[in-house]
Structures are given as C-alpha cells and as structure tokens.
Amino acid sequence: MPTKPTSKPSSTSAYKLVSGYDLYVYDNYTPNQLPQIGASMFFGLKKSVEGAGFLVSSDPVTPDEATALAWTNNEDSNLYNTLTRGIGMNRDILLKQYMQYSLVNDFTTILTSNKKPSVFVGRSDYGTREVIFNFDLHDSNLPLLYDFVPLMRNLVDYCKPKFLTSFDYTVGDKAIFSIADEIMQVTVHRPDMKEGEVEPIYFEEGQEQYIYETRTVGEHTITITYEDGETKEVRFFVHMSKPEMDPQPIAQAKFALAITDNTTKGDGLLDNILPIIIAAAAFFAADWILYTHEQY
C-alpha cells in the first residue's frame, strides 16, 4: 500500500516533474525546460527559456509614468481577429513595469508596449503553442477591465482550440477551422457528394487555422482524425444566399396634371383670339369639304 507524502514540495523546482496537462501557466516563474506536449502561458518571464522561441533582452523596465499598451489592429490576420473577438478595445491598459523580449520564432502580436511586443502568441521550438505576456498581471490594470475576460477566454481557446466556433453559414461565407496540434487528418463530406465520398483538407504541420469557403447548400459533415486514431464528427449547415428580388410593383392609381402657383406658364398672347381661331378652322374645314364634293 503506497504511503502518503509527508510534506509538500519545498520549492517550485518540483514543478518540472509535472506533465500530462493541456496547458501550463507560469506566473512570474521561469521553468527549467518547456513541456514538449501541451501549451504554455507566461506572465512576466524574467529569464530566457531554451526552445521558447523568444529571448529576455533586458532587466525589468519601470517607467516614470504608467505605459499604455496599444492594440496592433492587424485586421488582415484571421488569427488576430479570432484572438480579439468580443473585445471592446476602448479602455487603456496600463503597465507600471514590464520586460522586453526579442522574438526569434514567428509570433502574432496582439498588444505592444512602446511599439515592442507585449502580448503575443506563437509556437515554441517543439511546435507547442505559447501565450506570452511581458508583464506580471499585478503590475497592470488589465484584470480590472472588462476586456480581460474575453481576452483570456480567447487565449485559452487558442491553447486548446475548438475546431469550429460557428455552425451556421451562407453560401460564400468562409468557415475557419482551428487545427489543434493532435489533429492528423480532416475531411469534409458535402451534400452534393455521394455516400462515402469526401473532400480532404490539406494543412501543414503547425498550421493554426484553415479557411474553408462554403459553396454548397445543406449539411456538411467534417470528420477529424487524431494522433491516437480516435475520430470525431462535426457538422455545420450552409444556407442559400438571399435571392434576388424584383422591385416592388408600382401601385395602381389615377394621375392628373396639377398647376401650382410656381408652375411656369406661357406669355398668353393668343388667349383672347383663341375662339376666333377655332371657328375659322371649323369654317375652313367645312368649306374645303363642300368644294371637294362639287369637284368630284
């Protein structure tokens, strides 16, 4: 029968023995090494970690006045739009102390301090996902802001992504597939395909997202195959685009010309002799008819 441990680990060095988790959070702590399976989230890392893909390039920076962070507003990046979904970006995020990091690997930066990366995501040398804050949350007002909740939710979802976040589309919409690290194969069965026929989705190792353009109306079935051989099905529906419509028919009604005080009128020179002109025209027509009858 196993015995109970007599005491808890005396130092954080014991944390390096922990494994088997999807996400590791290092709050103002530098691990001896990174996990090769599972995502990592760093807050205020003060020493470089081998294989992290970024380096600590200075001692802590303590400005005379609080430094305001800036959103990068990288709207061309689908990943950036996913990470900032639901965030208002209308309150200043202030820091009283932060670190400066030099990026070695490719990262997507969300927030900057003095035009340098402050909050960013990417991959370690092992291919695992990383979320990096260059400050301790205690040195910022971020946890007091409304934006903190959706930001952390999006970052946690990045570490352990859901394959789809929306399941209802219109023809021509683009569905974003989040490619988790343990996914090996993805196929899509469209409504216009025969039973058993599928469309393979090709993605590269370490790819974060795949953009799938919908083009067929009906229910789509996605089959996801994981490293351990387990499979999972995800379904989404595609609707028809809004049909073209004829303009509304003009309602039937009677119309009449109306003269207002502002209507431009003629000079009225012939108004007084108009009856004479009509009578002359009638006399001329009758005389011409009589003359024609006599001649022929």
**Are residue 51 and residue 131 in the same domain, yes or no?**
yes
**Are residue 65 and residue 145 in the same domain, yes or no?**
yes
**Has residue 282 been placed in a domain?**
no
Share above pLDDT 70 across residues of the chain, in percent, rounded to a whole number: 76
**Are residue 134 and residue 25 in the same domain, yes or no?**
yes
- Report the range out of 45-49, 160-164, 204-208, 262-266 with the highest average pLDDT: 45-49
Residues 77-88 have a mean pLDDT of: 90
Residue 174 identity: K
Longest dimension (CA), the chain: 144
In this structure, of 89-98, 236-245, 275-284, the range with the lowest mean pLDDT score is: 275-284
Residues 123-148 have a mean pLDDT of: 93
Quote the domain boundaries for residue 125.
19-159
**Are residue 133 and residue 37 in the same domain, yes or no?**
yes
The pLDDT tens digits for 221-263 are: 999 998 888 899 999 999 988 766 666 665 565 656 666 666 6
**Has residue 111 been placed in a domain?**
yes
Give the Cβ contact number of residue 195 at 10 Å.
5
pLDDT given for residue 7 in this prediction: 44
Q: Where are the beta strands (DSSP E) in the chain?
A: 23-27, 39-43, 54-56, 67-68, 70-71, 94-95, 101-103, 107-113, 116-123, 129-133, 168-170, 174-178, 183-189, 199-201, 209-213, 218-226, 231-239
CATH number at residue 194: 2.60.40.1930
**Are residue 181 and residue 225 in the same domain, yes or no?**
yes
**Are residue 44 and residue 104 in the same domain, yes or no?**
yes
Out of 239, 266, 291, a domain closes at 239
Out of 106, 140, 159, a domain closes at 159
**Has residue 221 been placed in a domain?**
yes
**Has residue 277 been placed in a domain?**
no
**Has residue 69 been placed in a domain?**
yes
**Are residue 196 and residue 134 in the same domain, yes or no?**
no
Out of 91, 126, 159, a domain closes at 159
- Report the range out of 26-30, 42-46, 206-210 with the highest average pLDDT: 42-46
Cα(269)–Cα(124) distance, integer angstroms: 96
**Are residue 136 and residue 208 in the same domain, yes or no?**
no
**Has residue 198 been placed in a domain?**
yes
**Has residue 101 been placed in a domain?**
yes
Q: What are the contacts of 245-251 at 24+ separation with CB within 8 A?
A: none
> Who's near 239: CB < 8 A, 6+ residues apart?
168, 169, 170, 171, 217
The count of domains in the chain is 2
**Are residue 51 and residue 129 in the same domain, yes or no?**
yes
**Are residue 235 and residue 196 in the same domain, yes or no?**
yes
Residue pair 190/162 in contact (Cβ under 8 Å)? The answer is no
**Are residue 125 and residue 66 in the same domain, yes or no?**
yes
Q: Is the overall model pTM greater than 0.75, yes or no?
A: no
> Given pLDDT bands bounded at 50, 70 and 90, which one contains residue 202?
very high
Share above pLDDT 90 across residues of the chain, in percent, rounded to a whole number: 40
pLDDT at 126 over 80: yes
**Are residue 84 and residue 36 in the same domain, yes or no?**
yes
CATH number at residue 42: 3.40.50.880
Residues, the chain: 296
pLDDT at 196 over 70: yes
